[in-house]
Amino acid sequence: MTAAIIDGKAISKLLRKEITQDVEKFKAETGITPGLAVVLVGEDPASQTYVRSKEKSTIKVGMYSEVHRLAAETSQDELLTLVDQLNNDPKIHGILVQLPLPKNIDENKVIEAINPAKDVDGFHPVNAGRLLIGQDTFVACTPYGIMELLRQEDVQLKGKHAVVVGRSNIVGKPIALLLLQEHATVSICHSRTADLGAMTRQADVLVVAVGRANFITGDMIKPGAVVIDVGINRVDGQLVGDVEFESAKEVAGKITPVPGGVGPMTITMLLKNTLLAAKRC
């Protein structure tokens, strides 16, 4: 059996078309253009690429885009001052501070400084807390995108065993909560999990977000499972996921490729969150 490929590019393209139409309708009805401000501190090449992509995507769906590129030497106080200005700027509905930040800046303090109503990344403790107790909130974009992929692929979660490998605040914890909301039975695994393979082989849905290339191999996957690979790792000049794709696709029922799986969905859900923020303002 060879797994069906979950085409994140195609699904993302479809959703962005819908978002573009929704933005046009919102602008016509209210006269308001949803605005997204992205803040980049330093010159990390990967972050620069992500920010350019976000800027281009924001403009393409008809939103207002504002990018603040700051020197690596920028102080924490200077960054917090900018965040405060954006919090109070009526044309900005969503604020995203690109991570990681330079070591001299406390990421938690910066995230907490963002107005939760403009936290389209879904990282603020208020929004994370709302997700925990099942309230409507901004959901972190990558987990949000994963859930949309599962919905588009008509993956039934009720009563299924979902195993999440990774426990980060950005992906692992929020995706576990979202899967719980859909009535899956959820196990969270990590680097200290004893006999990881015994756990992953129980998964009807396996989400892998550990940041280690080819970490999950085909023999760790339950036949017919849905495998969602969140990892993006560069090996010998090639992008690969946290799942060893060639062996995994021979066992899984459905699988996301890297690139072209989860990645395209993250910015798409950022755009969706920004439109939602504008509607709530």
Q: Which residues are designated catalytic?
A: 54, 98, 121
Residue with tokens 């980049």: 40
Determine phi and psi for 156, rounding to 5 degrees.
Answer: -80, 125
- The answer to whether the beta carbons of residues 150 and 157 sit under 8 Å apart is yes
Residue 52: count of CB within 10 angstroms of its CB: 13
Structure tokens at 271: 């755009």
Asked if 207 and 188 count as a contact pair (C-beta separation under 8 A), the reply is no
What's the alpha-carbon Rg for the chain, to the nearest Å?
19
Round to whole Å and give the CA distance between 263 and 121: 15
Name residue, tokens 């959703």: 15
SS3 state of residue 241: coil
What is the maximum span of the chain, computed from C-alpha positions, in angstroms? Answer: 57
